[in-house]
Amino acid sequence: MPKGYWVSVYPTIDDPKRLDVYNELAGRAVAAADGRVLASIGSRVDAHEAGIAERVVLIEFDSFEQAVAARASAPYQEALTELPDGLERDFRIVEGLD
């Protein structure tokens, strides 16, 4: 069964400190859904073409369905309410190849 991945890129973060509450709640939601953080805050980024060398978060789940369910879960929905206004984020759920 192919794994599922959350891929988040934050092109604009005006005030990173305002993400603290979201990060805490989202971390708990990911852990409860058995997600594994592969890259996150502080990870090095070598951006090319239209890429932006800003925060990138990569989280792995055992299946695509598990990744989708984690995004829809009540704990993660609560975390989303804490994202600050004006934050620009590109979030995708991607199915692995195997």
Percent of the chain whose pLDDT exceeds 70: 100
How large is the average pLDDT for residues 89-96?
96
Helices (H), 20-63: 20-32
Confidence tier at 36 by pLDDT (50, 70, 90): very high
Task: For tokens 């620009």, name the residue.
Answer: 88
Helices (H), the chain: 20-32, 64-72, 74-80
**37-59 pLDDT tens trace:** 999 877 888 888 877 777 889 99
Helices (H), 2-56: 20-32
pTM: 0.89
The domains found in the chain, sorted by start residue, are: 4-95 (3.30.70.100)
Per-residue model confidence (pLDDT) at position 29: 98
Per-residue model confidence (pLDDT) at position 37: 95
Contacts of 76 (CB under 8 A, 6+ apart): 25, 26, 29, 30, 33, 70
How crowded is residue 30: how many other Cβ atoms within 10 Å of its Cβ? Answer: 24
